Amino acid sequence: MRSDIAPGGTFPDYELPDHENVPRKLSDIQGIDPLILTLARGNYCPKEHQQHLDLAANYSKIAVAYTQMATISTDTHHSSQEFRASTGAQWPFLSDPERTVQKDLDIQEYTDPEHDPMIPHTLVLKPGLVIHSIYNGYWFWGRPSFVDLWHDLRDVTREIRPDWDLSKPGLREAWDAGDYSPFHGWNKRSPKAMPTSYKA
């Protein structure tokens, strides 16, 4: 892995076709939320299926926690579609058969010349594609459990959400004054659009 791909650094904003063959940039998928990014071997690997089945089983928790996900593999478009469908995933699967990411990050899994995949990694990214944590999944136990991800995402969300603790001094006063900028979701609404029962 490139030396600059480390906690505190910024992950490259790759643009690749998704499972519907629509070009997607990682920053657009992430938006203003945390992002779980898996760099996967691909559809042929049973370890990938196990990890993605676990992520899919917990996707409802990930979704309600305002967290995004993306998977990048060296699969072709159709193989990427099969991979996504077979695991029940509901997030974008990006296809990179040209191995742009593998080459750029220097993560060729040279011990598998038949498939020439990436060394699998899972990253938790703060908004702006800022790296919080990286897991090397060449061996399965190197991959994060959902509990590992939960701890990472708790730390990230606590850091990026001003309204993490509603008892924080000044938050109630801001709310009562009609300043919704510190409140996730509410900060996108105008005071006129607020329900009467929520207005100060």
For 14-28, the pLDDT digits (tens) are: 999 999 999 999 999
Are both 133 and 53 inside the same structural domain? yes
Mean local confidence (pLDDT), 159-180: 90
Q: What is the pLDDT of residue 192?
A: 59
Residue with the bigger pLDDT between 190 and 59: it is: 59
83 lies in which domain range? 15-160
Judge if 98 and 115 occupy the same domain.
Answer: yes
Phi and psi angles of residue 125, each rounded to the nearest 5 degrees, phi first: -115, 130
Same domain, yes or no: 91 and 155: yes
- Please tell me whether residues 186 and 136 are part of one structural domain: no
Cβ-in-10-Å burial (0-12, 13-18, 19+) of 109 comes to: middle
**Number of domains, the chain:** 2
Residue 155: closest CA among 9, 52, 12, 7: 7
Q: In this prediction, what percent of the chain has a pLDDT beyond 70?
A: 93
| Helices (H), ranges, 37-145 | 46-57, 59-64, 77-87, 100-105
Reply yes or no on whether the pLDDT at 187 is more than 90.
no
Question: Looking at the structure, do residues 81 and 102 belong to the same domain, yes or no?
Answer: yes
Check which CATH number belongs to the domain holding 27 and give it.
Answer: 3.40.30.10
